[in-house]
């Protein structure tokens, strides 16, 4: 395998999140999603990407954060909760999904998640229903 065939490093992908080209930003966010917890060093850049004007970048950043699970909650919980009101359904879906992957921390977001159970988008509704159940199961004293 040549250097040209090597996958990009986390540092290169973080740089990609700041690229002027929205396709490169979305591609970098998607690649970070595939890295899961190995993308941990990219968390601050991913949280910043949740505010990107391009919905696909926001959605993929939320997905990448979700793959980091509870470890991302401290920095990402509030920005993900704000995305629950995004005007674009795939962004809301990935925000709900990400919160479902950090159910212990997402207990504080239960009210906002419950509102998504009635979302206009079927995919968001289904994800919200599953996430609310996970969050309640993770904090039985609060259910």
Q: What is the tens place of the pLDDT at every residue in 45-104? A: 999 999 999 999 999 999 999 999 999 999 999 999 999 999 999 999 999 999 999 999
Residue 31: which region, alpha, beta or left (left: phi > 0; alpha: psi -120 to 50)?
A: alpha
Burial of 44 (0-12, 13-18, 19+ CB in 10 A): exposed
State mean pLDDT over 112-134.
Answer: 97
From the CB of residue 89, how many other CB atoms can be counted at a distance below 10 Å?
16
**What pLDDT, on a 0 to 100 scale, did the predictor assign at position 8?**
86
Q: Which residues contact 78 (CB under 8 A, 6 or more apart)?
A: none
User: How far is Cα 132 from Cα 143, in angstroms, rounded to an integer?
Assistant: 10
**pTM of the predicted structure, to 2 decimals:** 0.91
CB-based contacts of 116, cutoff 8 Å, min separation 6: 84, 92, 96, 124, 125, 127, 128
- Dist. CA 4–CA 143, nearest whole Å: 52
pLDDT computed for residue 2 by the predictor: 41
């Amino acid at each position: 395998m040549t250097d040209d065939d090597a996958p990009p490093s986390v540092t290169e992908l973080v740089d990609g999140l700041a690229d002027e080209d929205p396709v490169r930003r979305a591609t970098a966010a998607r690649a970070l999603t595939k890295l899961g917890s190995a993308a941990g060093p990219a968390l601050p850049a991913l949280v910043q990407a949740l505010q990107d004007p391009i919905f696909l970048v926001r959605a993929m950043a939320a997905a990448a954060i979700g793959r980091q699970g509870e470890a991302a909650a401290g920095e990402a919980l509030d920005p993900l909760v704000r995305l629950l009101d995004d005007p674009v359904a795939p962004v809301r879906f990935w925000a709900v999904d990400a919160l479902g992957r950090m159910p212990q921390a997402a207990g504080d977001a239960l009210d906002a998640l419950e509102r998504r159970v009635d979302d206009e988008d079927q995919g968001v509704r289904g994800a919200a229903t599953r996430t609310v159940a996970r969050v309640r199961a993770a904090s039985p004293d609060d259910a």
